[in-house]
Structure 1
Amino acid sequence: MHRFSIPTMTCGGCARSVTKALQSVDPDARIETDPPAREVRVGSAHGPEAFLAALAEAGFPATR
């Protein structure tokens, strides 16, 4: 499971946008967003770099 910190994810709308960006990489990924903690966890066989790139492209730069 990958864990990312996303400082700009502050609400449910942001979490939906983050989820959509992550699903563009892996539609079958297990995604758990936590806006109050500004974190997301992703269960996927894909590497973290693809998810980081998708998040940045969607306007939600993230760190591991």
Structure 2
Amino acid sequence: MYELQVEGMTCGGCANSVKKSVQALDSAAKVEVDLGSKKVRIDTKLGIDQVKAAVVQAGYPVTASTTA
């Protein structure tokens, strides 16, 4: 489980873009987005670098990450 601080998300469409970007690499990934805190929790088999790259590629900068 990873928790990312993702900037630039302002609406449900943004959250959906982040979710789809991760699930394009791991369709079984569980992605929870909290727009208020700009935190994204991801349960996936992917490595942290892959997850961060997917989110950045979707257009949202990752400013911090932790492994839970």
TM-score w.r.t. length of structure 2: 0.86
Report 1:33-48 matches (<5 A).
33-48=33-48
What is the alpha-carbon distance in structure 2 between the residues aligned to residue 23 and residue 57 of structure 1?
13
* Higher strand content, 1 or 2: 2
Match of 1:32 in 2: 32
Please give the root-mean-square deviation of Cα atoms over the aligned residues, in Å.
0.9
Identity %: 38
* Higher helix content, 1 or 2: 1
Is there any run of 5+ residues in structure 2 with no aligned partner, and where?
none
Displacement over 3 Å in runs of 4+: none
What is the alpha-carbon distance in structure 2 between the residues aligned to residue 20 and residue 44 of structure 1?
13
